[in-house]
Each structure stands twice: as C-alpha cells, then as structure tokens.
Amino acid sequence: MKPGGLIGGATAVLLSVVVFLVPFAFIVLQAMKGKQEAALLEFSWPQDIQLVQNISEVIKARDYVLIIAFINSTILTIASVTLMVICGSMIAYVLQRRQSRINPLVNGLVLAGLIIPPAVVPTIWVMQALHIFKTMPGLILVELAFGLSFTVLTMRAFIGSIPKELDEAAIIDGAGPIRLFFKVIFPLLRSVIVTIIVVQSVFVFNDFQNPLYFLPGEKNATVQLTLFNFQSQYDTSYNLLFTNILLITIPPLIMYIFFNKRIVAGMTAGAVKG
Amino acid sequence: MATTDEVPRIDLSSEIERSRDRRRTSRRGNGIARSQVDKSYPLWFYIPGGVVYLVLFLVPTALSFYFAFTRWTLFKSSFIGFDNFVTFFQEPSLVGALKNTLIYAFLTSSAKVVLGLLLAVLLTAPIIARGYLRSVVFFPVLVSAVGVGLTFQVLLNPTDGLVNRVLAVFGIDGPGWLVDPDLALYSVAAIDIWKGVGLATLIYIAGIVAIPPEYFEAARVDGAGPWHIFRSIILPLSFPATSTVIILSLIGGLRSFDLIWTTTQGGPGFASDVIASVIYKQYQAGFYGLSTAGNVVLFIVVTAIVYPLSRWLNRREVSL
C-alpha cells in the first residue's frame, strides 16, 4: 500500500468518526444516562449506567404504547411489502414480456409514480369514501400504491435478464399463465425480491409522513409517530427520548448488517446504465 | 407410455404433435405464435396492483386539480376559481415556502453530487479501512428521519448542544442553528446532506466500479496524473451516476417533509417552511382547498423541473 493511501485513509477515518460516529455515540450515551445527567446534554461516559431501567421505562410509558407501535409497524411493513412484491412482480413481468400497445402508457404511469408527489387531502377524501381512512388496511394500501413504482422498475430490469426460452419451455410443457409465473418465474426472482423486501421495509418502517396523514391518533400509531409524540410529552427526559431513538434504530440496523449487499444492490440500481 | 403417474390426463400423442409444430415455428425464427405468447402473459396481471394504484394515487392526483379550485370541507366543496392560488401567491409566508423549497432542493442535491462524487473517488481508491468507511457513510441513510431530526435538534441546541460546545473550545461563538430565522433552513439542509450523502456516494461507487479498468490502465501508461484521471475518465464516465443522483435528490428535496417537520416544524415563524410543510399546516388548520392547491403547486414545480431535466440528462447520457 502506498503511503498516500495510508494518510488519506487515516484522515478519512478520523473525519468519519467525528462527522458520522459521534452523533450515534451520543444517542447511545444519552440512552444510558439517568434523567439529570442526560439533561446536561454532555458528550461523556455516564456516571452510572441506567440503560436497562431506561428501556423498561420507555416500554412501560403510556400503557406500553411503544410495544403496540412496534406491533403496528411490523404489521404495516410486512403486509405492504408482501403486497408490493406480489403485485409489483406481476406487473413488471407482463410489462417486460408482453409486447402490447398499452406498454408506453404503463411505463409512463410507473415513472409518474416515482416523480409526482401524492395529493394528500384528495387521498384522504377517497379513503373516507371507501371507509379505510384511519385504518391499518388503508395505510397498507397507501404504502403499496406509493411504493409500487420503484418495485416495478427494479423488478422489470431483473426479469429482462431471465432467458425467454425458459418461459417457452414451460409453455410447451403446458403450463398456464399462473403456473408459469408463480412456479417457474417467481422462484427465479429470489435475489431481486430480497432486495425489494429489504429496501422497501426499511422505507416503510421509517416512514413518517404517510402514517401522520393517513393513520393519525394514538391507537394505531407506528413507531415513528410515537417517537415524534414522545418528544413533546417528555420534553425534559432526554435519556428516555434517546432510548426511544435507539430502540427504533435497531431494526434497520439489523437489516443492514444481514443484507448489506442487497441494500446496496437495490439502492444503486440505475447508476450503471447501458 | 400413456400411463405414467406424473403425466396429467391429456391426449399425449396429439400434445407432442402440437409441441413439435410449435418447435418448428420457433425454429423458423419468431418463437411461439404471438397469440400463444400473449395468453401466457395475461393483461389481468396488471389489475391487483393497478387498481390500488389507480384508486389511491391516480384518482386523488386527478381530483386535486378540481379540489384546488374549491373551498372544501371534505363533505362539501364550492368552486371558487383561482382564489386559493391567489391566496397562495399573495401570502408572504407561502411564497417564502416556495422559495425555500427551491433553495433546499438545489442546495441538497448539488451538495450530494459534489460530496458523493468526492467520497466515492476516495472510497474506490486503495485506502485503509475502506469497508468501515463505506458502511459508516451509508448508515445514516437507514436511520429514520424522525430519529435523525430529533437527535440533531439536541446536537444543534444553541447553548448546550454538542456542536456549539465544540466550537466554543475553539473560541467560536456558535449560532442558533435551528432557531435563527436566517439560518434554520440551511441547517436543516445540512442535516439532510449528512443523512443522504451516503446514498449518493454508493451510487457513485457503483458507477465508478463499472468503468472498464482498461481506461485507467491506458491513462496510466500515458502518464496521466490523478487529477487528469479524475477529470477525463471518472467524471465523464460516471455520468449515469451523476444523473441518477441529481434526479433522485431533486425529487426527494422538493418533496421533503419528514426532516423539516421533525427539526423546525417550518419555524422559527415561517423561516424554514417548504411547500410540503405548508400542505400539512393548511390541512391541520382545516383549509383543505388551500392545502390541495399547495399540492398542485408542488406537482407543477416537481414536474416542471424534474421532467425536462431528466430528458436532457438522458440525451446527454446517450450521446456519451
């Protein structure tokens, strides 16, 4: 290794510690402190470590609202991402394989979904008419609608790489469209499905705006909403606030540790064209 | 041969005959007959996702162009022409929000392009701790905007915040990052850059890694220095990455809500309001028509900027 690489690397490591690690270390340190010590907002090692007490206090706060929120967020994430994968792959598959006159229209709609900001109040109006406003199924469908475009785009590119001869062989063997797709094609999409699951579940789990609009109220709050409400309710309990932040950051962290490569693949799709 | 267990009860000989026919046609070039192919890719596969997309995205978008011209209580709407838009463009706080949205989006996306490219060049070079650096730069992307927003609210506290304490050590009197009206928007933009630069970096890394190594070898044989390699190889050949970063971060920046709402809620006063936060505030206040007009303004701003820009970037990409 050249000395330039060593010096550049060392400088970069030092900078990265200051810029990126200190804020995370601060979260962890604050979460370990007692109330009075945390209120000082100092970047220091806690005098006595109260992480466990803090966690139990955060969980017990307001009748276990955080546990309920975790359950809600989990249901929301699993349901909406499952629907994205199934509906998105079906659309991407037909869009990629079939030459049809409506393809340009479908392609245009997919791009529109990426660019256009959702119209909030009209969406609420439609949801009220369908009696799904302020309900979990309603929010699940909203997340599906807003996340579909990215899913279709990513999957279409991948399906293009599956040889068409495979379909032809299955058709010749007498497979109908449903069997062809779910038995032959769908299993081959495994790697892109994992990518979509990881990227979209981080996205849905972290979403703040859509739950705020479409699932307001205490009862069905998601973790991001409880964290936000926590701030106003426990204005001076910085230790509990940061314990809450820490707990909510753990699921995406786990996702990242296990699916590092998949996340990178999903998020950089489109960077290398042609 | 007609009675093996796995074979479904169909007339095998004629089936084989038919498939031979198909193979014959396929050898002639065009694959299986078109109608047969189309039947295997039925259009109703569009329906499950398409219906939800239509009802919860396309219909509301279309409706917004009507409700933006009404006084609206969700139960009753009365047509009032351009009144909402007149209000929008006469109210200084709302015009300010439009201006802030543009500043915020251009600031964050240009910073992400520049910093992302520089970091990517550094992180594709043979330096120590490359894997660690890549992960640490990327991790904030995965933390929720709420978590990041609340954390930085504390870190940027004017008196007790860590940032100003560190500045005080160097004798600098740190400003009220999020409470100074002249500074709040830029502070939130800086937090946004901190959170999002990892994604830009990652996209650039993918773009740079995809450049064929022959280019670098040829350049080195010709005696090109690092600056020359960057200027003449990395910069032009990572152009697809640049256009992806620009488009993604512009869309994100123009629509940005979560981070602004969890740090300043548009304040102090209206100093860091953007269109998305105005939409929420008007919605909360019950001005549904005005809120929807804000949505239409945002729609126009986003498409008027992103659509021509992406066309232009695509054309440049093709011509490279």
A186 touches chain B (CB under 8 A): no
Q: To probe the interface with A, which of B9, B25, B45 has the most A CB atoms within 10 Å?
A: B45
- Residues above pLDDT 70, as percent of chain B: 88
Helices marked H in B30-129 — which ranges? 34-40, 47-53, 59-67, 83-90, 92-124
The nearest CA of chain B is from the CA of A23 a distance in Å of: 8
Tell me which residue of B102, B67, B99, B62 sits closest to B83, measured CA to CA.
B67
Contact of A271 with B207, CB cutoff 8 Å? yes
The Cα A28–Cα A51 span in angstroms is 9
Sites in chain A below the pLDDT cut of 50: 1, 273-274
Q: In this structure, what token pair is assigned to residue A41?
A: 């907002």
pLDDT in tens, B72-115: 888 888 888 888 899 888 888 888 999 999 999 999 999 999 99
Q: Is A193 on the interface with B (CB under 8 A)?
A: no
A 201-240 → B contacts, CB under 8 A: 202, 205-206, 208-209, 212-213, 224, 227-228, 231, 238
Q: How far is CA A53 from CA A42, A61, A243, B3, in A?
A: 20, 12, 10, 70
Nearest to A109 by CA among A121, A123, A92, A93: A92
Give the Cβ contact number of residue B263 at 10 Å.
26
- pLDDT at site B33: 66
Q: What is the pTM of this model?
A: 0.86
Beta bridge partners of B77: B72
CATH architecture for the domain at B83-319:
Orthogonal Bundle (1.10)
Q: What is the 3-state secondary structure (H, E, C) of A232-269?
A: HHCCCCHHHHHHHHHHHHHHHHHHHHHHHHHHHHHHHC
Average pLDDT over residues B231-251: 89
Give the residue from chain A lying closest to B278, CA to CA: A120
- Nearest Cα to B288, choosing from B80, B77, B135? B77
Nearest to B67 among A19, A121, A176 (CB): A121
Residues 71-130 of chain B whose Cβ lies under 8 A from any Cβ of chain A: 72, 74, 122, 125-130
Beta strand pairing call for B77-79 and B70-72: antiparallel
Residue A19's closest chain B neighbor by CA? B194
Domain residue extents for chain B: 12-79, 83-319
| Predicted local confidence at residue B31, as pLDDT | 52
Query: Token pair for residue B85?
Result: 């838009």
* Nearest alpha carbon to residue B193 among B277, B298, B81, B116: B116
Just give the CATH number of A64-238+246-268: 1.10.3720.10
Please answer whether residues B133 and B123 qualify as being in contact, where contact means their C-beta atoms are separated by less than 8 angstroms.
Answer: yes
ipTM score: 0.88
> Which residues in B lie closer than 8 A to residue A2 (C-beta atoms)?
126
Cβ proximity of B156 and B270 under 8 Å: no
Taking the C-alpha atoms of residue B201 and residue B205, their distance in angstroms, rounded to an integer, is 6
